[in-house]
């Protein structure tokens, strides 16, 4: 399984649309290995979606994401886990430990219960309880 | 003046309608007022202690931080319009102001940013912009306003419309607008360029043919009139329609029937006809190349579409319109034309009208990476002459010579029209007349 992180420098970009790089990781059994990166000159959400598909990633983890872009990416079958913050290392560790929800952006945490982010993430498409590994 | 000691600072900040937050030098949020919570939807207790980019998720957070530049350059930023993404996925336009925070010893301890929700203002601005547009046609000029004012009534009627205007004035756009506003809007809109097809093809293209009508006609072919049934047919460049077809079209307009090639029965034409031309049809009628009876049939409602040079005040609006469209088409973030570039376009005669303006912007989008389109991004024919060429502006001149030169150039740009020259130079008619006499120039 290939995982795509929308990054700015060594952290997840605050806003997906502004990410300067996609970092790709392969998840095999208990290991997460780097599988390449793509620099992103265009800000067009369609180009970004094509880039995710072109590198074969099936899951995207990113920061803030507007509704239209999210719909566009999800319509291609890519699983989107938005509203996550942290450095690349922190995110990979959380994926490995299956606790991405601990990295939810402020206002989107588990503590908010039926908060906006959980509700809009739909049935099982949120960041809680992902069995990535 | 000192801040009252008994007044808690946070109480003052919480009473503001604008969102305010502060950060320390490590970008951790140290204060988040109530308005900030309300606008972002993030509770203060969750925001405080987090990195500001994780809280604010604005368009500047990844690389263009306003607070960072204030803190690094000890400057301030006021009323910069950006957007942030609220956690329900909506983009919210905000206006921000930022400044560094220093302690009593003058040491930098962080930064403060205030922000204002601009959603309502943007909705209002959009409403105003909408009042300047009619379907896809943009403009607030008087010349266009006249056309806008009668377009709804014209659209609702079933009358044949004749659109007159120079090439590039948007005749097809107006035809589409009339169709979209008419009772036939659910039907098809079919456009035919009468000047683009050879005469023999045009007839079969318009009216279709029956199998066996000629050697290659193995099966029936519907014409554009049939394809437009229930809707509108737009006949562009009607002035180029051959005489034989003019008769047939006249019959369609008079009797609402036509016969496909090779057919012995008439077909009912359930279409509304909108015709357009950039030629002077009256002249064509007097020359005998256009039927007078057809001209009168087409001329039920005539709309004269003004050329762009007669509605220059629409140029900034059109620039805005095309910039927004090209940004979304090309995924770019161009802010518009710089003042110098806009000045050049405003002074250019734009013989190609709106289409030329659109082409200029499309060209400039290729050369301009981001920000405002500068003069050097414009097509070469709009670039100011270089000083190395015939332009001798670098040579020393008296003030009088410079004035004469400016008047000569402005007259040339305005095709010798004195009123337009006065408007451009901001001088009165009398001043221009005296200057022309003094400089030995001639005006229209």
| Residues of B at the A interface, defined by Cβ within 8 angstroms | 40-43, 46-47, 50-51, 53-59, 61-63, 84-85, 87-91, 330-333
CA-nearest of B16, B47, B197, B46 to B115 is: B16
A117 pLDDT band (50/70/90 cuts)?
very low
Identify from A5, A11, A14 which residue to disrupt to test chain B contact, counting B C-beta atoms within 10 A and taking the largest count. A14
SS3 B425: helix
Closest CA in chain A for residue B53: A14
* pLDDT for the residue numbered A124: 38
Closest CA in chain A for residue B46: A106
Average pLDDT over every residue of B227-248 = 92
Is pTM beyond 0.90? Reply is no
* pLDDT for the residue numbered B427: 84
Q: pLDDT of B129-179, one tens digit each?
A: 777 777 778 888 888 888 888 888 999 998 999 999 998 898 999 999 999
Instruction: Say how far apart CA B315 and CA B299 lie, in whole Å.
Output: 30
User: Which residues of chain A from 13 to 42 reach within 8 Å of chain B, CB to CB?
Assistant: 13-15, 17-20, 42
Q: Which chain A positions have a beta carbon within 8 Å of B53's beta carbon?
A: 14
Instruction: Say how far apart CA B56 and CA B53 lie, in whole Å.
Output: 5
Closest CA in chain A for residue B92: A66
Give the distance from residue B37's alpha carbon to the nearest chain A alpha carbon, in angstroms.
9
Give the distance from residue A24's alpha carbon to the nearest chain B alpha carbon, in angstroms.
19
Q: pLDDT of B26-41, one tens digit each?
A: 999 999 999 999 999 9
- Computed over every residue of chain A, the mean pLDDT equals 82
SS3 B221: strand
Contact flag B50-A15 (C-beta cutoff 8 Å): no
Identify from B44, B53, B83 which residue to disrupt to test chain A contact, counting A C-beta atoms within 10 A and taking the largest count. B53
CA-nearest of A106, A61, A15 to B59 is: A15
* DSSP structural state of residue B83: E
Closest CA in chain B for residue A69: B89
Whose structure tokens read 């002077």?
B280
Q: Virtual CA dihedral for B127, B313, B149, B146, nearest 10 degrees?
A: 170
Q: pLDDT of B60-82, one tens digit each?
A: 899 888 899 888 888 888 878 78
Q: Which of B43, B53, B63 sits opposite A107 (nearest CB)?
A: B43
Closest CA in chain A for residue B52: A14
A66 at the B interface (CB within 8 A)?
Answer: yes
Token code pair at residue A83: 């509203």
Identify from A43, A64, A106, A109 which residue to disrupt to test chain B contact, counting B C-beta atoms within 10 A and taking the largest count. A106
Q: Virtual CA dihedral for B384, B389, B390, B395, nearest 10 degrees?
A: 90
pLDDT of A113 strictly over 80? no
Paired strand residues for B304: B164
Q: pLDDT of B398-433, one tens digit each?
A: 777 788 888 888 888 777 888 888 888 888 888 888
Q: Which chain B positions have a beta carbon within 8 Å of A116's beta carbon?
A: 41, 87-88
Q: Which chain B positions have a beta carbon within 8 Å of A114's beta carbon?
A: none
Q: Write out the H or E segment, with its range, that includes residue A84.
A: none
Give the distance from residue A75's alpha carbon to the nearest chain B alpha carbon, in angstroms.
16
Contact flag A120-B89 (C-beta cutoff 8 Å): yes
What ipTM was predicted for this assembly? 0.82
* pLDDT for the residue numbered A119: 35
């Amino acid at each position: 399984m290939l995982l795509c992180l929308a990054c700015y420098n060594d952290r997840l970009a605050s806003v997906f649309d502004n990410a300067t790089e996609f970092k790709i990781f392969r998840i095999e059994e208990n290991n997460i290995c780097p599988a390449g990166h793509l620099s992103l000159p265009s800000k067009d959400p369609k180009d970004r979606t094509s880039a995710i598909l072109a590198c074969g990633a099936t899951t995207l983890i990113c920061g803030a994401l507007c509704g239209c872009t999210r719909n566009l990416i999800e319509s291609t079958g890519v699983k989107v886990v938005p509203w996550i913050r942290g450095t690349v290392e922190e995110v990979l560790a959380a994926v490995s430990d299956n606790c991405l929800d601990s990295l939810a952006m402020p206002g989107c945490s588990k503590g908010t219960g039926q908060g906006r982010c959980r509700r809009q993430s739909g049935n099982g498409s949120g960041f809680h309880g992902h069995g990535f590994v | 003046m000192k801040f009252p000691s008994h007044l808690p600072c946070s109480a003052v900040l919480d009473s503001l309608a604008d969102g305010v937050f502060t950060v320390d030098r490590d970008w951790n949020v140290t204060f988040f007022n109530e308005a900030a919570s309300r606008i972002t939807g993030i509770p203060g207790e969750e925001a405080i202690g987090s990195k500001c980019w994780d809280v604010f998720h604005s368009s500047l957070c990844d690389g263009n931080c306003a607070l960072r530049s204030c803190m690094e350059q000890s400057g301030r930023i006021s009323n910069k319009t950006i957007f942030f993404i609220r956690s329900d996925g909506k983009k919210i336009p905000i206006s921000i102001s930022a400044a560094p925070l220093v302690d009593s010893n003058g040491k930098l301890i962080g930064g403060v940013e205030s922000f204002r929700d601009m959603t309502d203002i943007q909705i209002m601005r959009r409403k105003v912009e909408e009042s300047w547009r009619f379907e896809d046609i943009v403009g607030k000029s008087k010349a266009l306003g006249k056309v806008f004012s009668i377009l709804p009534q014209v659209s609702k009627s079933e009358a044949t419309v004749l659109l007159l205007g120079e090439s590039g004035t948007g005749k097809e756009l107006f035809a589409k607008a009339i169709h979209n506003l008419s009772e036939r809007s659910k039907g098809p809109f079919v456009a035919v360029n009468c000047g683009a097809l050879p005469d023999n093809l045009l007839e079969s293209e318009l009216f279709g043919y029956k199998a066996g009508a000629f050697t290659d006609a193995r099966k029936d072919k519907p014409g554009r009139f049939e394809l437009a049934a229930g809707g509108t047919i737009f006949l562009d460049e009607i002035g180029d329609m051959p005489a034989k077809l003019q008769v047939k079209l006249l019959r369609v307009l008079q009797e609402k029937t036509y016969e496909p090639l090779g057919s012995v029965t008439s077909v009912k034409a359930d279409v509304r006809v909108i015709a357009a031309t950039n030629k002077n049809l009256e002249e064509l009628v007097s020359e005998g190349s256009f039927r007078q009876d057809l001209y009168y049939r087409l001329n039920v409602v005539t709309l004269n579409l003004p050329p762009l040079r007669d509605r220059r005040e629409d140029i900034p609006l059109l620039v805005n319109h095309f910039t927004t469209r090209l940004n979304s088409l090309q995924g770019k973030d161009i802010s518009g034309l710089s003042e110098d570039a806009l000045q050049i376009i405003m002074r250019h005669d734009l013989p190609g009208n709106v289409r030329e303006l659109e082409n200029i912007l499309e060209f400039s989008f290729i050369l301009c990476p981001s920000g405002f389109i500068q003069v050097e991004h414009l097509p070469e024919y709009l670039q100011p002459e270089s000083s190395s060429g015939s332009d001798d502006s670098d040579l020393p001149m008296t003030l009088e010579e410079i004035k004469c030169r400016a008047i000569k150039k402005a007259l040339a740009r305005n095709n010798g029209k004195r009123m337009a020259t006065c408007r451009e130079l901001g001088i009165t008619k009398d001043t221009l007349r005296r200057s022309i006499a003094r400089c030995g120039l001639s005006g229209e």
